[in-house]
Amino acid sequence: MSDLQASNPLLQTWQTPYGLPPFDRVEPAHYLPAFDHALAEHTAEIERIASAPEAPTFENTVQAFDEAGRLLMRVNNLFWNLTSSETSPALQEIERSLAPRLAAHDSAIYMHAGLFARIAALHAQRATLGLDAEQVRLLERKHLDFVRAGALLSPADRTRYATITEKLAELTTQFTQNVLADESTFVLPLETEADFVGLPASIREAASAAAAERGLPEDSHVITLSPSLAEPFLTHSARRDLRETLWHARVARGAHDGEHDNRPIAAEIIALRQQQASLHGFATYADYQLSDRMAGKPAAVNELLMRAWNPAVEKAGADRALLNAKAVELGEPTPIAAWDWRYLAERVRQADYDLDDAEIKPYFALDNMIQAMFDCASRLFGLQFIEQHGLELHHPDARLWEVQDRTGKLIGTFIGDNFARQSKRSGAWMSVFRSQSGIAGGTLPIVINNNNLAKADHTLLSFDDVRTLFHEFGHGLHGLLSNVRYEGLAGTSVLQDFVELPSQIFENWAEEAEVLKRHARHFETGEPIPAALLDKLKRARQFNQAWTSIQYVAPALIDMALHALPAGTPVDIAAFETEQCEKLGVPADVGMRHYLSHFQHLFAGPSYAAGYYVYMWAEVLDADGYDAFVEAGNPFDARTAERLYRYIYSSGNTLEPGAAYRAFRGREPKVEPMLAKRGLIDIDEAAPVPA
């Protein structure tokens, strides 16, 4: 062992429970030396594969490539998880310096002429090599990865492409850090009793916890931009002036003049993506991205989105009339504004459906809902979750469960990190510290779910929070249940418009009365949620769905329009957004869930660029797919659950996603169940998803 390895815990064998990172021993100063060592090691591994004197075989080339870089991946997974979940100025500085270096390393690998020549030779002969289906799939995916990374470009274009990739890594990192800077510094103080009018006790408690987390005096209360605090405030606060202040602050994230201004950064990202697409021979970046997605072409995406957009805008008109009438009744100004919609919708919901969010929340304590999702996974897939205490994790809020199958065999570990904090980016996401694979004895996954719930003595969830919790756990199950040989095909390594299916279909169990009767219990009395309240929840399910649909579909359509600009088209981000909103007719009193200056799905990396539509694409699959359980007459039907496990959760990217869905469902998906679920149509006759 070298002196560096002896002194750097990142480079040592991790003698920790479950192979967890040694969180308590790693310091920021360890990362750059560890990355230097791991990058050099990976480069040497690639050179050995590429320069091997033996003729290329699947084992000495494709499988060897899949197994290479394990040290780099281990260090990388830890670092990027921490920069998302528990960052610091020191980590952010390292992140900015590393992003272009790692992009350059990836470019050097995927443009390595010798390695690509071996993979291309095997790809050309793949039908005659005697490979099984999973091996063929890995070979085809690896070959495509090289092609999409520029391996077929001319030498000059490869150099240009690598430069673009490095610059994009730098810009997307800066974009993310700018959003975090705005989110972590803004607070809306609640200073007098008048500032609390309308707020239930749970929001008061969360606002107190947010102030304490920021080191403010003991009796302070603040509202932050975290959705789990901001959205309930917008829903319940009777102070219209404070709602307006908070709404504008959320919209303006990343849109302030100065060092954290994301508008010029986003414009530069778009220009570079246009150049990428042009180098590949595509007319637009959207065409390039969708060439490796289920949707195939932008026209299919726009057709699906418009099928939801038009009825949503029409239905919002009727909803608006109800809200304006409620505003008049309450003495609120009319016409209503975007910072009024949530507040007035909640008042209408209370009046028309006798359903009050403050009445619901006491039955949705976080710990109970965690047990609910574990119970569903147990009944569907035979999993057991056993919490382990006394382990050193990345933050005291994080918890770890050992995951066993129905025989008691360990299949992985699951970490839940559920609370918002200044050192954590907003939103909710799943990631891994280690992926599953079956080579060389196999590796078990270490999966983490991140949420941004408002921490309190008793963390009580809205029903939207419950759905988010189940959604991310669906992603978590996708990682935990992965059962493939090759890590490059494991877990969530699937096409982008398929990756949301395992998460979104799992949300359906959060709404099952059978599940709620068992787990939705009052946090103080332990009494189960009353049947009458469950009935109210069911009746109100489609209320305000036009608003929800517009909030999502508008940025999805703008995403496609932005990435459909031809190469060489300059863009003023703010002007483009305004123009598109006017063109679509986005109602000003509804607004959008994401605005371009803080739209991290688009600008924190390439995965969801020209891809925010994937949630609705997957929603088509999830609504249609869950109907298989409805048709079976049992939300835990064993045969249907076995198909769901085999073709959706455990198969990773070993199957083409369309074929995987057909194997699960027995036919092509239909759009109408999704539209009906959103209350946008009355379902009479189903039709296939647009292709």
Q: Which residues are catalytic?
A: 472
Provide the 8-state DSSP code for 606.
Answer: S
- Residues 236 and 200: beta-carbon distance below 8 Å: yes
Helix H or strand E segment including 534: helix 531-539
Between CA 450 and CA 426 the distance in angstroms is 9
Cα 162-167-172 angle, rounded to 5 deg: 125
> E strands, 53-118, where?
none
The answer to whether the peptide bond before residue 335 is cis (omega within 30 degrees of 0) is yes
Between CA 563 and CA 297 the distance in angstroms is 12
Between CA 581 and CA 588 the distance in angstroms is 9
To the nearest 10°, report the CA torsion of 94, 98, 100, 105.
Answer: 180
- Within 13 Å and on the Cβ side, how many CA atoms surround 514? 9
Calculate the alpha carbon distances from 580 to 211, 426, 597 in Å.
38, 26, 15
Calculate the alpha carbon distances from 567 to 284, 287, 464, 490, 686 in Å.
6, 12, 40, 34, 39
By C-alpha distance, which of 526, 606, 643 is closest to 106? 606
By C-alpha distance, which of 175, 209, 172, 174 is closest to 190? 209
Place of tokens 């270096």: 101
